[in-house]
Amino acid sequence: MKYVDEYRDGALAKGLLRAIARAVRADRSYAFMEFCGGHTHAIARHGIIDVLPQNLRMIHGPGCPVCVLPMGRLDAAMALARDPAVTLCTYADLMRVPGSHGETLIRAKADGADVRMIYSPLDALGLAEANPERQVVFLAIGFETTTPPTAAVVKAAEAKDLRNFSVFCNHVLTPMAMRAILEAPAHGEEAGPRLDGLVGPSHVSTIIGTDPYRPFPERYGVPVVVAGFEPVDILHAILMLVRQVNDDRAEVENQYVRAVTAEGNRIAQALMAEVFEHRESFEWRGLGTLPDSALRLRPRFARFDAERRFDMSSSGGRDHPGCACGAVLRGRLEPWECKLFGRVCTPDTPIGACMVSSEGACAAAWLHGSRSHSPDVPEEVSHV
Amino acid sequence: MCLGIPGQVVEITDAASMMGMVDVSGVRRAVNLACVAGDGPLEEVIGHWVLVHVGFAMSRIDPEEAAATLKALEDLGEAMAEIEAIRGADRMMEGETP
Ligand code: SF4
Instruction: Report the 3 state secondary structure along A224-273.
Output: EEECCCCHHHHHHHHHHHHHHHHCCCCCEEECCCCCCCCCCCHHHHHHHH
Q: pLDDT band for position B28 (50/70/90)? A: very high
State the Cα–Cα distance between residues A21 and A336, nearest whole angstrom.
Answer: 27
Give yes or no for a contact between A105 and A77, defined as CB atoms under 8 angstroms apart.
yes
What is the DSSP pairing of strand A295-297 with strand A56-63? Answer: unpaired
B50, pLDDT greater than 60: yes
Look at residue B2 in the predicted model and tell me its pLDDT: 54
CB spacing of A257 vs B35 below 8 angstroms: no
- d(C-alpha A183, C-alpha A330), whole Å: 11
Tell me, what's the pLDDT at B79? 81
Instruction: Tell me if B2 and A359 make a contact (CB, 8 A cut-off).
Output: yes
Instruction: State whether A258 and B84 contact (CB < 8 Å).
Output: no
Determine contact: A179 vs chain B, CB below 8 A. Answer: no
What pLDDT does A186 receive?
A: 78
pLDDT digits (tens, 9 = 90+) for A56-98: 999 999 999 999 999 999 999 999 999 999 999 999 989 999 9
Answer whether residue A130 shows pLDDT above 90.
Answer: yes
The model carries a pTM of 0.90
Q: Is A279 exposed, middle or buried (0-12, 13-18, 19+ CB in 10 A)?
A: middle
Query: What mean pLDDT is predicted for residues A295-307?
Result: 97
Q: How far is CA A352 from CA A82, A97, A282, B68, in A?
A: 22, 7, 20, 42
Give the number of the atom of ligand 1 that is nearest the alpha carbon of residue A320: 3
Quick one: pLDDT at residue A149? 96
- Centre of ligand 1 to C-alpha A170, Å, is 22
Domains identified in chain B and CATH numbers:
5-93 (2.30.30.140)
Q: What confidence tens digit (pLDDT) does each residue in A160-214 have? A: 999 999 999 999 999 999 999 999 887 777 778 889 999 999 999 999 999 999 9
A345 lines ligand 1 (CB under 6 A): yes
Once rounded to an integer, what is the mean pLDDT over residues B59-82?
86
Whether B16 shows a pLDDT value over 80: the answer reads yes
Q: Is the CB of A333 under 6 A from ligand 1?
A: no
Does residue A323 have its Cβ closer than 6 Å to ligand 1?
Answer: yes
* Ligand 1 centre distance from Cα of residue A32 (Å): 22
Q: State how far residue B65 is from chain A, nearest Cα, in angstroms.
A: 5
pLDDT at residue A381 is higher than 60: no
Longest CA span, chain B: 68
CA-proximal residue: ligand 1, atom 3 (nearest): A323
Report A:280-319 residues touching B (Cβ under 8 A). none
Q: Does B13 touch chain A (CB under 8 A)?
A: no
Q: Read off the pLDDT band of B97 (50, 70, 90).
A: very low
Rounded to a whole number, what is the distance in Å from the CA of A188 to chain B's nearest CA? Answer: 32
B66 vs A contacts (CB less than 8 Å): 3, 6, 258
| Cα angle, residue B66 at apex, residues B65 and B67 outer, rounded to 5° | 90
Contacts of B22 in chain A (CB under 8 A): none
Q: Provide the β-strand partners of residue A229.
A: none
SS (H, E, C) A43-63: HHHCCHHHHCCCCEEEEEEEE
Asked if residue A352 has its Cβ within 6 Å of ligand 1, the reply is yes
Q: What's the CA gap between A383 and B5, in Å, rounded? A: 10
Report percent pLDDT > 90 for chain A: 78
In this predicted structure, what is the pLDDT of residue B5?
87
Please report the number of interchain residue pairs, chain A to chain B, with beta-carbon separation below 8 angstroms. Answer: 147
Between these two residues, A243 and A6, which has the higher pLDDT value?
A: A243
Helices A121-130, A147-159: crossing angle, 10 deg rounding: 20
Kindly state the average pLDDT of the residues A277-287. Answer: 94
Closest Cα of chain B to A123: distance in Å? 9
Residue A382's pLDDT band (cuts 50, 70, 90): very low
Q: Identify the closest residue of chain B to A23 by CA–CA distance.
A: B97
